[in-house]
Amino acid sequence: MTEPADVQVVPIDLLADHDPEQDAAAQDWIGVHASVQVELFGEGSSAWTLEEVRELHRSGDKRRIDRAALVDGRLVGALELMLPVHDNRDTALLWLSVDPSSRGRGVGSTLLAEAERVAAAEGRGVLRVETEWAAGSTDTAEPFARRHGFEVGQEVLRSEQRLPVDPALLGRLLGPLTDPLTDPLPSGGDGYVVEFFVDTMPEAWYADRVVLQQRMSTDAPADDLDLEEEVWDVERLRRAQQATRASGRRVVESVARHVASGRLVGFTTVTVSASSPDLGYQQDTLVLREHRGHGLGLRLKAANARRVAEALPDVTRIRTWNAASNGPMLDVNRRLGYVVDGHSREWQRAT
C-alpha cells in the first residue's frame, strides 16, 4: 500500500497569465485534469483547454475558486469549485482530479476536505461532482465517492456520432436544400421550420432563446438531482455566447420556429474546440413540452449534423451526453447513428 503523502493545498489563479510562475502552475493544473481523461478514455478523451477554462472564469456565469495539491513541490491534484451566482446558490459544483501516478496517497481526500471548507464558508449546502468511465469499464471513482457520503443523483450515457450522416437518412428526414448554408429547412407540412446560425447568434433570436435556455433546467430530466430552475436573461445569454467565441470554440446551432406564432420552440447546439477541430461537442437540445410530438428533436439534431458537416468539414464526429432516463432523446440518437462509448454519474451530497 502506498504511504500517505504530505499534501500541500495552495490557491491558484488561472487568470494570472502575465505571471510566469502562475501561468506554469495553471498549465500543470489543466494537465492533471487532462491526464485523468486520457486514463479513462485514451484517444477518446474530452479535455477542456486552459484558454477555454479561463474564458469561463471571465464570463462571470459562475464564481470559480481554484486549488492545486502539491506533493514534494509537484502539482499532482487539481480542484475547481463552481458557485452559481444567478440560481442554485446553495450548490457548489466540484471538478476534482488527481494525477494517476499519485493515487492512494490522500491527495483526493485532502482536496475534497478543502472543497468542503470553502463551500461551507460560501454558504453552499449541496456538493455535486461527476465521475466518468469508458464503455465496458467500471466507475473506479465510485468507492471514493461513496466513502465520502455522496449519492448518485443521475446516470448519464456518453455517445458518439460519425459524420457525415447517411445522406439518404438525412434526405428522408429533412428533404433537399437549395443552398444548405443559407436556406431554412422546409416545414414538412407540420407548421415548423428549422433555421440555424454559425458562430454568431442573430440578435432577433435572443428573447426566445432565453426562454428556451431557462426551460432546459425544468424540461430536461433531472432525476434525483437537487436543482432549482435556472434564471436567464438576454445579458446572461449574451455573455455566455461571447465567452464561447472568445475561447476559440466554433458554434453551429439549429432552432425550430413555429410558423403560426413566429416563436422559437426548440434548439440544439454543437461547439467545436480549436484544440480538437475534428470533434463536435453536442451541447443542449430542447423542444418545449407544448411543441413535442412532431419529431422536432430528431429533425433538429439531423439538421444540425448536416450543418456541422457543411460549415465545419474538419469535424468527423459529434459527442453527446444524455440522462439514461431520457428515453426519447436516446431513441433520437440511435436513429441518427450514435453509439454509446462511455458513462458518467452526477453525485451529490448535503454538507
What per-residue confidence (pLDDT) applies to 1?
A: 43
CA–CA distance, 255 with 241 (Å, rounded to integer):
16
Per-residue pLDDT of the chain (351 residues; tens, 9 = 90+): 455 779 999 999 999 988 999 999 999 999 999 999 999 999 999 999 999 999 999 998 999 999 999 999 999 999 999 999 999 999 999 999 999 999 999 999 999 999 999 999 999 999 999 999 999 999 999 999 999 999 999 999 999 999 999 988 888 888 654 444 455 655 555 788 899 999 999 999 999 999 999 999 999 999 999 999 999 999 999 999 999 999 999 999 999 999 899 999 999 999 999 999 999 999 999 999 999 998 899 999 999 999 999 999 999 999 999 999 999 999 999 999 999 999 999 999 998
What per-residue confidence (pLDDT) applies to 5?
A: 75
CA atoms within 13 A on the CB side of 8: 9
Three cell numbers at 282?
453536442
Is the separation of the CB atoms in 346 and 130 below 8 Å?
yes
Q: Which whole-number Å values give the CA distances from 255 to 268, 283, 334, in the listed order?
A: 7, 13, 21
Is the separation of the CB atoms in 270 and 318 below 8 Å?
yes
Indicate the angle between helix axes 20-41 and 50-59, nearest 10 degrees: 110
Beta carbons within 8 Å of 33's beta carbon, 6+ residues apart? 47, 48, 78, 95, 97
CATH of domain 7-124: 3.40.630.30
Backbone dihedral angles phi then psi of residue 30, each to the nearest 5 degrees: -70, -30
What per-residue confidence (pLDDT) applies to 44?
A: 94
Looking at the chain, which residues constitute the CATH 3.40.630.30 domain(s)?
A: 7-124, 159-350
pTM for the whole structure: 0.93
Indicate the angle between helix axes 296-311 and 167-174, nearest 10 degrees: 130
**Topology (CATH) of 159-350:** Aminopeptidase (3.40.630)
What per-residue confidence (pLDDT) applies to 251?
A: 98
What per-residue confidence (pLDDT) applies to 179?
A: 40
Secondary structure letter of residue 205 according to DSSP: G
Three cell numbers at 206?
435572443
